[in-house]
Structure 1
Amino acid sequence: MTALIEARNLSRHFRLRRETLFGPAPLLHAVDRVGLTIHAGEALGLVGESGCGKSTLARLLARLLDPTGGQVFLHGAEITGESVSRFARSDRRRAIQMVFQDHTESLNPLLTVFQSVADPAGRLLGPMPRAALRRRVEDAAAAVNLPPELLDRYPHQLSGGQKARVGIARALVVEPQLLVLDEPTSALDVSVQATVLQLLDRLRRDRGIALLFVSHDLNVVRLLCQRIAVMYLGQIVETGAAEAIYRAPAHPYTRALLSAIPTLRPRGAERIHLDAEPQSPVNPCLSRCRFAGRCFMEQPLCIQAAPELRTLPDGRQVRCHFAG
């Protein structure tokens, strides 16, 4: 089955300064040779610690950032052959929409809720009668349980949960096939988080919208996502079915992440501590494992050869010489 969206060897490097007579400019490897697929109607969770490249990868897949290398395919057709600005004006822009982490900063304070939700429709769907635009905006608001009386309010008159719904409605108004959500519940109260997660799951089931859910909260990801991709220092280190990963994580970094979830631990299930400092993402060594130096399973091979993603018997992919 053709994936809705697929990344092949996707990379994004940031130059930290200009080249000088003393040598080339150092490069920060935010995303490094990532391969990832998302199918229609699927919720994929992207997890990892802060600074591992999750948000950069999300913006690459949403075509808000140009890659340094690699390709992104939408329904099998490459969409990285044109710049971000050109893609923003193409018919394919409406297929991928993003919901941002900061719901306050992502809304224009000078626009009402109606104007904020209507803006993408006007840009991506072309001119339409005023009545048709109003129906479309009201339908998007109803889909996220946003009361009609809020459409004439401004962002400062809304609660955090209401702003989150406006952000989702703004993405839904153009009927996308993929929603990229960059930690959309991190700034919300727990009760509001649950409401937003139920809303997203209902949209996925009812409309067949695929979700890329970026988060550092593993409990939230387990509630919403069928598959999980674990990211470390710009690379995907494990991907597979959510329940399989939670039940028996294969990569040592995934094991450490899951052991950090607060729980009433049975005897013998102690937390795995990663005391050493992580490697620098600036000009990283390409011939050693990125997790070397912190790994409790480390062997001499780990600093002699960088592991590639390999498939385990249960279908999971893991980037480790000794996993499984």
Structure 2
Amino acid sequence: MTALLEARNLKKHFKLAAKWPFSTPPKLHAVDGVDLVINAGEAVGLVGESGCGKSTLSRLVSRLLDPTEGQLLLEGEDIGRLSTARFARSEQRRLIQMVFQDPTESLNPLFSAFDLIADPARMLLPRAGKAELRRRVEAAAQAVNLPLALLERLPHQLSGGQKARVGIARAIVVEPRLLVLDEPTSALDVSVQATVLQLLDQLRRERGIALLFVSHDLNVVRLLCSQIVVMYLGQVVERGPSTEIYANPAHPYTRALLSAIPTLRPGKLERIKLEGDPLSPISPSSTQCRFCGRCPIERAQCRTSMPALRELAPGRQVRCHFAEEALTGLPAAV
């Protein structure tokens, strides 16, 4: 079975200014050799601290950035070889749509809700007539439970939850196969977040739309996603089924992340505090683990050998020389 979207050794390096004339410019390794598989109708959560490369990876998947290296396959066809400009004019553009973090900032304040939703359809479905366009917009609005009476309103006349629904309707109006969601609930109240998450899960189940959900909120990811991908300094350090990772994380960084989730459950073990400073993502060493200097189970081997992303169990992968020790030698995170 061919995956809906597959990334193979995907990299994005940004050149920086050279420190001295005629010297080799350093590179910021924002995404550094990521492999990712998303199947149709699957919800994949992408988590990690700020600066780990989540947003850059989501923009690569959305084809808003050109990769430095690697392949990006959409239903078996390499779309990474197309420039962003060429991909924007291709028929495949409508198959991958993005929902941005702040609905207020991502909506044109001069457009009505109808025009905001219709805009992608006008660009990506140029043969659609006015009647077809209105049908699509109204169907998308109804799919996200946005009253049709609100379609003539401007963004400032809508609530935060209504603007979030406009953003989702705008993404699904062209019938995509994959939605890339970059922190779509972070700007919303908790009560509104729950409603939006239920809506996204409903769209996934009823329409078979796959979701790549980028978030800092691990509780939100836990509710929505069946698969979890954990990133640290541009690399995937752990991935697998969400139930297994939340129950027993294998990478020390994942354990520290999960230990920070607030809970009222009695008996929760003390939060794992990471000492030291993170390594620089600028021209990082290829012969040491990126988690060196912060890892509570660090050994000499970690400073001389980069761990590979290896299979720990069927469907479970981890980038750590001593993952088995992490499973048993550190306090449980959840």
- TM-score normalised to structure 1 length: 0.98
1:37-86: CA deviation from partner (whole Å, max 9, x where unpaired): 00000000000001111000000001110011111000011001110010
- 1:18 CA displacement: 4.9
Q: Distance in 2 between matches of 1:4 and 1:19?
A: 42
Query: In the TM superposition, what are the counterparts of 1:237-256 in structure 2 within 5 Å?
Result: 237-256=237-256
Range with bigger deviation, 9-18 or 67-76: 9-18
Match of 1:231 in 2: 231
- 1:197 CA displacement: 0.1
Which letter maps to 2:282? V
Match of 2:187 in 1: 187
1:161-194: CA deviation from partner (whole Å, max 9, x where unpaired): 1111101000000000000000000010000000
- Structure 1 residues 14 and 190 mapped into 2: Cα distance closer, same or farther (>3 Å)? same
Q: Distance in 1 between matches of 2:264 and 2:302?
A: 33
1:84-128: CA deviation from partner (whole Å, max 9, x where unpaired): 010000000000000000111111111111011111111111132
Q: Distance in 2 between matches of 1:280 and 1:266?
A: 38
State the secondary structure of the residue aligned to 1:122: helix
| Structure 2 unaligned blocks of 5 or more | 325-334
Match of 2:290 in 1: 290
Match of 1:219 in 2: 219
Coordinate RMSD, CA, aligned? 1.1
Match of 1:207 in 2: 207
State the secondary structure of the residue aligned to 1:167: helix
Task: Tell me the percent identity.
Answer: 69
State the secondary structure of the residue aligned to 2:45: strand
Q: Distance in 2 between matches of 1:61 and 1:320?
A: 26
1:250-287: CA deviation from partner (whole Å, max 9, x where unpaired): 00000000000011355471110012110011111111
Match of 1:87 in 2: 87
1:5-28: CA deviation from partner (whole Å, max 9, x where unpaired): 000000111112157525111111
Which letter maps to 1:223? L
Q: Distance in 2 between matches of 1:172 and 1:11?
A: 28
Match of 2:74 in 1: 74
Residue 29 in structure 1 maps to residue 29 in structure 2: yes
- TM-score normalised to structure 2 length: 0.95
State the secondary structure of the residue aligned to 1:105: helix
Q: Distance in 2 between matches of 1:19 and 1:28?
A: 14
Match of 2:97 in 1: 97
State the secondary structure of the residue aligned to 1:17: coil
- 1:315 CA displacement: 2.6
Q: Distance in 2 between matches of 1:121 and 1:16?
A: 38
Residue 16 in structure 1 maps to residue 28 in structure 2: no
Residue 56 in structure 1 maps to residue 38 in structure 2: no
Which letter maps to 1:26? P
- 1:314 CA displacement: 4.0
Which letter maps to 1:100? F
Moved over 6 A (4+): none
Which letter maps to 1:227? Q
Match of 2:113 in 1: 113
Residue 137 in structure 1 maps to residue 160 in structure 2: no
- 1:240 CA displacement: 0.1
Q: Distance in 2 between matches of 1:172 and 1:268?
A: 41
Q: Distance in 1 between matches of 2:134 and 2:263?
A: 47
Q: How many residues end up aligned between the 2 structures?
A: 324
